[in-house]
Structure 1
Amino acid sequence: LAVIVEKKEFENEQKNIFYVPSTLKFLQDLAKHHRNQLNIPIIGLTGSNGKTTTKEIIHAVLSQKYKVQYTFGNLNNHIGVPITLLSIKPEHEIAVIEMGANHQKEIEMLCELAQPHIGYITNFGKAHLEGFGGVEGVIKGKSELYDYLKNNKQTILVNEQDPIQVEKTNDYENKITFGAETADYQFSEFVKDNLVGLVYNENQALSKLTGNYNYTNLCAAASLGLHFDLNFAQIKMAIENYLPTNMRSQVLEKNGKTFVLDTYNANPSSMAESLKNFTNFNGAKTIIIGDMLELGEESEVEHQSILDLATSLNFDEIITVGNEFRKINATSKSYLNSKELSDYLKSNKIESMNILLKGSRGIALEEILEFID
């Protein structure tokens, strides 16, 4: 219908080519205009770890009853959020908007665009330390979602087992809570064959996800489902049928081996949780861990901490990939990139029956999967 350009020489209004000073600002303004026409609940989601998985499960749960639009893939930044908002159509009844950030004031800006009615922060971890300026900067930056919700008298979803969430929302009444005996919704965890599930009123729902950290993600989605009047049978159906396909906590079987593929992203918090969870798998275990990016001055200390943790957990084999790990790991099991490791694996076999792959997106550890027999 039209083309928007920010180079004046291309302007031709007779052909519907319109000039604006900034196409990015135009995209954001258009998205905000569209958002202001909507009259449906908007759920805003951020956090250091688990945003995308939580968003996917929330979508799966709410879709049992409603037509839900949600952030596709990782379109969660200053460009992705406007694109997601503009994809909301008249038939949609709820929207779930994931908001990512790597510096202060970014969540604040995304909230002004999305204007959420309900907000949830998955956790406050060691992610994007370089841009946020340390852990305290992460907490302040993510809490911009709380600031927006409080200022606009909207609803906050709170995990009462997270002391930071409790502290930040202690003086606020408009909350949906889970995780404590006095919470609005009370769940308990169970694990079967390394997969995590939840129990609600003696009814079980077992997911296809691994890791205790995903139990919290399930609780958040179930809480929103109950808040929006779904029954637990519907929630159970969604949880049990949700199949992760986005390289986040994926459990795969290949040639008699069990793989945990968690290669979409990594930071010190999520890496530590993944390593601890992997110790619960039965049989020999090999970990292949890639660099954690965007840690700034904390990088060497954090990589050393993870390597020390991995060593203490007594895995059968530790393989590292990336320059940051290479600096501190002088063993022969250290590779500069995924291609170098792939070349090694073409003629060398990993004997372990359980293999964890975990690293930042830039390391692309999933590329080595085809070379493991």
Structure 2
Amino acid sequence: GVSTDSRTVAEGNLFIPLKGEKFDGHDFIAEALKKGAAGSLCAEGREKCWGGEKLDQKFLLVVQDPLRALGDLAHFWRNQFSLPVIALTGSNGKTTTKEMAAAILANRFSVLKTEGNFNNLIGLPLTLLQLAPHHEVAVLEMGMNAFGEIRRLREIARPQISAILNIGQAHLEKLGGLEEVARAKGELWEELRAEDWIVVNLDDPRVAALAARQNCPKKTYSIQQKADVQAENILYRPEEGIGFVLKIGGQKELVQMQVYGRHNVPNALAAAACASILGLSLEEIVSGLKAFHPPPGRGRIITLKKNIRIWDDTYNANPDSLRASLTAFQETKGAGRGLLVLGDMLELGAATSAQHQEMGRFIGRCGLAYLFFLGQQAPFLKRGAQEGGMPAERIFVADHHEGILAKLREVGQENDWIMVKGSRLMKMEQIVQGLQDFWGAK
């Protein structure tokens, strides 16, 4: 096995020292070897970083770049298996779609899937290195925040089926604008082979444009127009989730899913399209979608005592996902009193403050009872919310989680709906946990 963490390295592992913002794995090579690692990679020029201690039957393999070596190892290991690999990227919905696809495919196959947020140049190789003979298909999520990252992930994984779910306002800080996001995501569809399949969202013009350039088999999906995989008669019941008629080829079947928000329908269609390519029947696809439950932090509803319900959407946030989630939240809570807790949306680049103020105006028009803003962008959110019509006395700004929780405990009441969202680094799950600790699970 392979380990990048000296704290959890196991007997016989190969230790790969990676350099991060706060730590350099080379400083922990000696510790990893003493704990049982069989050997370690080492970057050129860092050969003496482990102190030169003599450790019997251990080895140090010098490479140009340990991170690239990790990817190369994963690529080599992936090539030992002939199983189909599905790769998913997009500005929103990657993890949900991956989980939906895995739930469907589990009806027939042994599935390896990306766990948690292991979707980058470290996590994806570590996922692939878990491939074992019993696996029959792999479903991989690919994330990025700079040019070249999706290209490298594609090189490592060599997927035969791939989908760019959507192009939206994410990672603008390093990329610039939406056209640049499309170009970066489009790296997934470079150098496609004649036998490779792509899954195409016809309702996203930028995705459709990227697909039009490709000469390979395509499986299209849409809500708005004719496609290989379609959703018809979408019906949203707040207490039951989303329902729709799934149409694949000439067959139709009703799907009732335990997810909230119409924005989850395209995710389900993308997952269904991937499964359809691998030959799963409509019945198997519907069964998998019905069995799907949203993972923590991605639109799940938690019911507390006093019938207070938390809409836990804490995993990440950008303007597009916030609009979709808030629309779904409004539709789900109905006439119930709604409160929004929002942390900063990160990686929006030079327009960060303007984007937050614009989203504040949108939020201010939603008719919520109270707003709670956390982070450096909170003043811009508040200004926008007031411009949108929200009274200042119902907007609370804080620079730490406990300040938000204290006010929530003060104003929260029976039957409230509380939506919690923010970028990953804002750690908004601490708000969800604090509310659960205070009111308790029902």
TM range (shorter): over 0.9
Aligned with residue 290 of structure 1, among 321, 330, 343: 343
Q: Corresponding residue for 2:244?
A: 198
Q: Where do residues 69-84 of structure 1 align in structure 2 (5 Å cutoff)? A: 69-84=112-127
Does 2:223 correspond to 1:187?
Answer: no
Does 2:346 correspond to 1:278?
Answer: no
Does 2:257 correspond to 1:207?
Answer: yes
- AA partner of residue 196 (structure 1): I
Q: Where do residues 59-78 of structure 1 align in structure 2 (5 Å cutoff)? A: 59-78=102-121
Distance (Å, rounded) in 2 between the aligned partners of 1:186 and 1:210: 19
Moved more, 117-126 or 344-353: 344-353
- AA partner of residue 156 (structure 2): L
In the TM superposition, residue 351 of structure 1 has moved relative to its aligned partner by: 5.7
Distance (Å, rounded) in 2 between the aligned partners of 1:306 and 1:23: 41
Does 2:156 correspond to 1:113?
Answer: yes
Aligned with residue 400 of structure 2, among 332, 337, 345: 337
- AA partner of residue 186 (structure 1): Q
- SS of residue matched to 1:45: strand
Distance (Å, rounded) in 2 between the aligned partners of 1:165 and 1:345: 41
**Superposed CA RMSD:** 2.1
Distance (Å, rounded) in 2 between the aligned partners of 1:109 and 1:214: 28
Distance (Å, rounded) in 1 between the aligned partners of 2:39 and 2:413: 53
Contact 1:4 1:23 in 2 (8 A): no
Distance (Å, rounded) in 1 between the aligned partners of 2:228 and 2:411: 53
Distance (Å, rounded) in 1 between the aligned partners of 2:55 and 2:152: 31
Aligned with residue 17 of structure 1, among 59, 62, 66: 59
Q: Corresponding residue for 1:315?
A: 368
Distance (Å, rounded) in 1 between the aligned partners of 2:408 and 2:236: 33
| Cα displacement string for residues 313-361 of structure 1 (whole angstroms, at most 9, x for unaligned residues) | 2222222121112245264512223222123334443566222111111
Q: Corresponding residue for 1:155?
A: 197
- SS of residue matched to 1:84: helix
- SS of residue matched to 1:102: coil
Does 2:165 correspond to 1:122?
Answer: yes
Distance (Å, rounded) in 2 between the aligned partners of 1:310 and 1:43: 37
Moved more, 136-145 or 23-32: 23-32
Contact 2:167 2:204 in 1 (8 A): no
| Cα displacement string for residues 41-83 of structure 1 (whole angstroms, at most 9, x for unaligned residues) | 1111111111011111111110110011011110111111110
Q: How many residues align?
A: 372
Q: Corresponding residue for 1:3?
A: 39
Moved more, 326-335 or 103-112: 326-335
Moved more, 211-220 or 322-331: 322-331
Does 2:225 correspond to 1:225?
Answer: no
Q: Corresponding residue for 1:260?
A: 311
Which structure: larger Rg? 2
Distance (Å, rounded) in 2 between the aligned partners of 1:112 and 1:226: 24
Which structure 2 segments of 5+ residues have no match?
A: 1-11, 13-37, 384-391
Distance (Å, rounded) in 2 between the aligned partners of 1:123 and 1:129: 15
Moved more, 330-339 or 310-319: 330-339
Q: What is the TM-score of this pair, normalised by structure 2?
A: 0.79
Contact 1:206 1:240 in 2 (8 A): yes
Q: Corresponding residue for 2:23?
A: none
Contact 1:326 1:335 in 2 (8 A): no
Percent of residue pairs identical: 33
- AA partner of residue 276 (structure 1): T
- AA partner of residue 342 (structure 1): L
